[in-house]
A and B are shown apart, each in its own frame.
Chain A
Amino acid sequence: MPDNLPRIVAVLLDGLPSTVIAAVGGIALTIVLSFAAGLSLLARRRAVRVLARIYVEGFRGTSEVVQLFWIYFVLPVLVGLQLVPLYAGVLVLGLNHGAYGAEIVRGAVQSVPRAQYEGCTALGLSPAQRMRRVILPQAVVEMLPPFNNLCIQLLKSTAILSLITVADVTRQGVQVLIPNFGPDTELIFAVMAVVYLVLALLITAVMRVAERVAARRVGRRPTRAARGSTVTPAGAR
């Protein structure tokens, strides 16, 4: 084993907090924005739909790096607010992936069968109850697999924060380690890859649990109580 491995791992792990904060913060913001914009895309008011559409197309249509530099270098000039690099990064990661997530939410909500809406009307549920109790729980099950991809995309995007001096795993590897441990360059890249792979696996593991919980909540898979019964739950795959 190469002598420098422990030191390489230690220096890369120094960048882990930034990468994790960026990923977790970005994912949290992405979820909020995805639902806000995704539901707005389906809103009754035209003005709301148009605003959401502008947000979604604006962020999907431009490069994430441009967005990052714009928020970090231009926004301070326009509004006099200089963000800490890490927070600027979280903001951009959330805004960018939220725009993609909005389309996931919109698509999932639209995929809920019409009969579910009719059922709600028949039961006299208010539109808010209908969305919260009937439509969203079913839509969430559809959303989770694409959201898993989106979160992994976001995790990989955290590397761009190194371009605005955030000391994340990428910056620790490329700016700190490689100039100092040149002969171990391949090893440094291998360890970096492992760090990102492990984080991606963690995200997938969390999402698998979420998928199971969400599916169980709408009875898509037999719960422990129903497992013995011979009746197949509606919509079971």
Chain B
Amino acid sequence: MPVPSSVLAAAAPVWDWGYALEVLPDLLRALVVTIEITLLGSALAMALGLVIAVLRRARIPVLDQVVWAFVEVVRSTPLLVQIFFLFIVAPRFGLTLSAFLVGVLALGVHYACYTSEVYRAGIDAVPRGQWEAATALSLPHSRTWTAVILPQALPRVLPALGNYVISMFKEVPLLLAIGVVEVVNAAREAGSQTFRFVEPYTIAGLLFLALSYPASMLVRRLERRVGTV
């Protein structure tokens, strides 16, 4: 609970540079954790998303409906609830995961349900003639995918995937709910020792801005180069 503002206002200046520098190392360490989770989660989301997209194209009865329902449920329920779900339910089936790993899995699976739609759009954008040509050349199914379809589909989906990586980065703080020491949690811990929250939370916000703004600029440039789906 925050201390009444009148107390703080009397005790110290609104912004204390010394204190800001003091908490910065902790926040930077937490930023590294945040980036690690983002990169691992993104790798999972990109791989699993592609699997889901290719699987759904195969239209295997029953499996197709199951995957569809899974994607819809994941996309329509809060990520925070899914994080709690994995954190609380997995141990009940004898699968005890660290909070870090729960974070990577929850974010990865959640975003896979979004990236699968991106891949789908990218695959759909490959002209029909490419499939027909592959059939005419009697390429095996696997070669059609790896040598014809995906090389054309993937460049166009890169900007959209990049945007999801940035979104994921900004959603990592949800993991503070299960005790992962990412940036916001580190800021909270620093603040609760000194009862000064202005500097830690403000720096936390600036750290996110400092990384995600340039990243989104890069994605925009990529978008102009390769187009988008």
Contacts and interface: CB of A to CB of B under 8 A. Distances in A.
B147 interface: no
Interface in B190-229: 191, 197-198, 201-202, 204-205, 208-209, 212-213, 216
B188 interface: yes
A117 interface: no
B51 interface: no
B92 A185 contact: yes
Contact of A152 (B76, B80, B172): B76
Nearest to B172: A63
Nearest to A96: B170
Nearest to A196: B77
B201 A200 contact: no
Contact of B77 (A57, A65, A156): A156
Contacts of A178: 88
Interface residues of B, number: 41
A157 B88 contact: no
A173 B81 contact: yes
Contacts of B177: 163
Chain A binding surface SS class:
helix
The size class of the interface chain A forms with chain B is: 35 or more
Contacts of B183: 63, 66
A63 B175 CA distance: 12
Given A65-B173, A77-B14, A186-B89, A197 B201 contact: no
Contacts of A186: 89, 92
B32 interface: no
Contacts of A74: 197-198, 201-202
Given A77-B5, A80-B5, A62 B78 contact: no
Contact of A73 (B2, B170, B176): B2
21 contacts: A57-B213, A60-B212, A63-B171, A63-B204, A63-B205, A66-B173, A66-B208, A74-B198, A77-B14, A78-B198, A80-B6, A82-B2, A156-B78, A163-B176, A170-B78, A170-B80, A174-B84, A189-B84, A189-B89, A196-B78, A200-B76
Given A61-B212, A197-B73, 8 more contacts: A63-B204, A65-B173, A67-B205, A74-B202, A78-B14, A174-B88, A196-B78, A197-B77
Interface of A: 57-58, 60-67, 69-70, 72-74, 76-78, 80, 82, 152, 156-160, 162-163, 170, 173-174, 178, 185-186, 189, 192-193, 196-197, 200
